Structures are given as C-alpha cells and as structure tokens.
Copies of this chain bind each other. A is one copy, B any other.
Amino acid sequence: MSLQLLHEEPQVLNVGLAAFAESIARAGGKVTQIEWAPPAGGDRAVGLALARLVNHPVVEAANRKAFAAYLAAQPMLQGVGIAREVIPSLRQRLILHAGPPIGWERMCAPVRAAIIGAVMFEGWADDLEGAEKLVERGDVMLAPCHHHGAVGPMAGIISPSMPVWIVREANSGRRTFSNLNEGIGKVLRFGANSPEVLERLRWMATTLYRALEATFVEAGSIDLKPLIAQALHMGDECHNRNVAATALLSKRLLPSMLQSKASREDLAAAVTFIGATDHFCLNIAMAACKAMLDAARDVTGSSMVTAMARNGVEFGIQVSGTGDRWFVAPAPVIDGLYFPGYSPQDAARDLGDSAITETAGLGAFAMAAAPAIVNFVGGSAEDVIATTAAMGHITLGHNTAFTLPSMNFAGTPAGIDVRKVVDSGLQPIINTGIAHREPGIGQIGAGITRAPLACFTQAVVALADMVTEQ
C-alpha cells in the first residue's frame, strides 16, 4: 500500500510489538500503542455479542444516522429561566442530581450535602437536620438531571427555584438545560451548604438572573457551535478550561447588557461575578453538548454513546440504540494533580454530568486544543495531542465544526462507539475536577479519569440482544 494514495495522514492503532509503532511514528504517522489483550478480557458472551455487532449493516446504518444527527445539531443559547418555569417536572418537590439514578441511601456525602443545601435554598426546611429528615422520609423526590433534559457539573443539583440556562436545538426545537456556575470557593456543587453558599445562590437567582434575563431580551439567541469552535482555537477544551469561551460570551453579551433595561448596579455586579468565574461558560457548553447528543438518541441499532455521567458512586453511560437505559459500573478514582495538602485518600469518586463534554467530542477528546491544561490535570504537551489522537480510534468520526489547530485543523474525535471501546480496550478519557470526599470542602484537584470498560461491555451485550441476526 502506498502512503501517497491516502488522503489523510495514516492513523495507526498498534497492538503488541512496540517496534512496529516506532517505525510508523518515525515515518510521521500517528500511532496509539496499546498492550494487546483479548476484547472484554476474554469474556466469551461479550466476545460473541461484539462479533455479532461488528460490520452489522443495521448497526452501521444506524450509526451513520445517529452521527449525522449529532453533527447537524445546532445548539442555540436562548437565555435563562427559572427551573420550575421551564422544566415542567420541577413544579413538584423534585431535586435533580448528576449521573445515573441513585437512591438517597447510596449517595456519596458531597451529593447528599448539596441536596440538603438545595432543600434549604427552597425553604422546604428550617435547618439542615430538618432538611435531611425531609429527604430521608421521601418527601423530596430525587432524579438524574439527564432524565429531565438537563445537565449539571459535579453534584449537578437543580432545584425548582434555581435559574437555568436554556439551549434550543434548532432542527428539533428540543430544549436542554443546565444550572448556572457558582464560581469558586464554597459552592453547592462540591457539597457545601453553609449560609454563605445559600446566600450566593439567592444572589444568583435574583441580581444575576435579572441582569441576564434583561440582557437576552436584547441579545436574542447565540449560536454556540461557532463560539465553542473559537474557544478551541484559544486554548479551551470546554471542560476544565473555559476562560476563552467565557470571555467570548461576555464580549458577545456586553453591548446587549448596556442596551438592556437592567440597572447599572445589577450589571456591575453581574460582570464582576462573571469576570471572576473562569468556568462560567462550562455549564452552557454542557447544555450545548447534551443538545447535540440528544439529537443522536434513540436510533435503533446504533452503538453511539449519547451520555456519560457520574454520581460519585457509579459511572453510567447511555447508548443511542438502547435509549434511556443506563449501563453502570463503580465510579473510578481520579489520577490527577492535587492542591497542596490533599491526596487521593481525600478524593470523592468521579462525579458530575460534565463528561457530556467528552461524549460530544470536547473535554479530553479535544485536549490537543488546550496544551496549557497540563498545568491543571497533569501530563506534558505531547500527551494532549496523543490523547486526542488515541480517542480517534474509538469514535465514529471527527467533528469538523470543532477543529484543532495543533493537529493541522483536524476535527475533534466524536461519537464514541461502544463496539470500538470494547474491541480495543481503549477507554474514553475524561478531564475532571476532583471533589473532597467530605462535603463542604470543595475542589481539591483536577485530573484524568477513564470511563469504566464494564459500562461498554454491558452496552455491547444489550445492543446485540436487540439486533437480529442477519
């Protein structure tokens, strides 16, 4: 085979003898070296299921359809609303949380504390003990954000009175939601629920909400894919680096802010808060990612992952061909850089809906856009390109709406295929913050984690059961 015949640089997945990989790398090819292992650890049932799905025409056609729908999605930021007014189920006494479904009794401490804080914020109880009893008695319903069109970072709490971002996917008209980023310090999403935390939430639901609501009257809706694309050219990967996206959003909103009916005091307070909140745009990017992936949902036979989410106890994925079903495994601990004074012993397990960014081809999948992130999550500048290149082996394609300058403007790898993950043993990589295992302490570091292989093997078996033999 002549390399000159290829339109693109060869991408090689080398299994076993490393010398092959080295010779390809020396010739300029991109190589991901993995240790050879039988697919799914040699599990016969999984191997048979995988064999049934590989090259299956129904699966191939379904994946083309799902991936095309993901690529065609147009997430538009419409503005802000109060959760109960835009998510009908929140007219009940319901609190949404991150990750796959989990009962109160099994929840991790930061998520429990955040739920108690939300009960206090809603005024459903007078003190923390009362709030806890209310939830224990079952007088507050709990459900995953993902079951109600929403996503939230870390604990991911959305309660009825909270303001939320509204993203509308232009092709379908479907809306997705996310809570607003609280900034740094003691925050609900890391399980803090002290009076200062609740005070900030109240300020966000009043002053910040008023300023943003008035601004969007003038701003109209904002096309989020070009904004994300530009942020990728400015060193964001839109999961753990959001400083460029936040600055671009601010720049876009500013004239509308000044033309709006919002008071100068509200605007000054709002821009001061946004200016100090480098992750302000993360929640918006997450809602945009959910909108893009929801477009790919429910295509019969498709092996494309439509969600990855963690509740601090379990990691769960959803797959297009299997609808709303979750495939879960224990949430991993995170390999990362810890803030001074903290170590992995202090860390909660992987937590939050923010892995929706990786599911949509951003975050660690777009890490080549963000070499500066290694200061935060560890590794070297070479690693970021290797990570993005490796993820290209487990995806259905690349999203050319999101290009990577350092890889000569290749699109980000996107559309995780559960078959390819199980076949290669290459687990999706996720950039993530690390929460303290105890509530109220907050973020103690950031790092890299990998989606558990068991989620993908279960999905392969379930999907194979649904796909009839040829």
Taking Cβ atoms with an 8 Å cutoff, the residues of A that contact B are 26, 230, 233-236, 243-244, 247-248, 250-252, 254-255, 258-259, 264, 267-268, 271-272, 275, 370-372, 374-375, 380-382, 405-409
Cα distance A450–B165 in the bound complex, in angstroms: 49
6 closest A-B pairs by beta carbon, nearest first, are: A247-B247, A371-B405, A258-B268, A372-B405, A233-B372, A234-B235
Please give me the residue from chain B that is nearest to A230 by CB atom: B243
List of B residues within 8 angstroms of A268 by Cβ: 255, 258-259
Q: Nearest Cβ in chain B — how far from A239, in angstroms?
A: 16
Please give me the residue from chain B that is nearest to A244 by CB atom: B234
**This chain's copy number in the assembly:** 2
Contacts known (A235-B405, A371-B406); A267 close to B258, Cβ less than 8 A: yes
List of B residues within 8 angstroms of A409 by Cβ: 375, 381
Cα distance A318–B258 in the bound complex, in angstroms: 46
List of B residues within 8 angstroms of A271 by Cβ: 254-255, 258
The answer to whether B244 and A272 touch across the interface, beta carbons within 8 angstroms, is: no
Please give me the residue from chain B that is nearest to A22 by CB atom: B26
List of B residues within 8 angstroms of A254 by Cβ: 250, 254, 271-272, 275
Cα distance A392–B244 in the bound complex, in angstroms: 28
Cα distance A374–B403 in the bound complex, in angstroms: 13
Q: Nearest Cβ in chain B — how far from A469, in angstroms?
A: 46
List of B residues within 8 angstroms of A381 by Cβ: 405-409
Q: What would 14 A/B residue contacts be, using CB atoms closer than 8 Å?
A: A233-B372, A234-B234, A234-B244, A235-B405, A247-B250, A254-B254, A254-B275, A255-B272, A258-B267, A258-B268, A264-B264, A371-B406, A374-B405, A381-B405
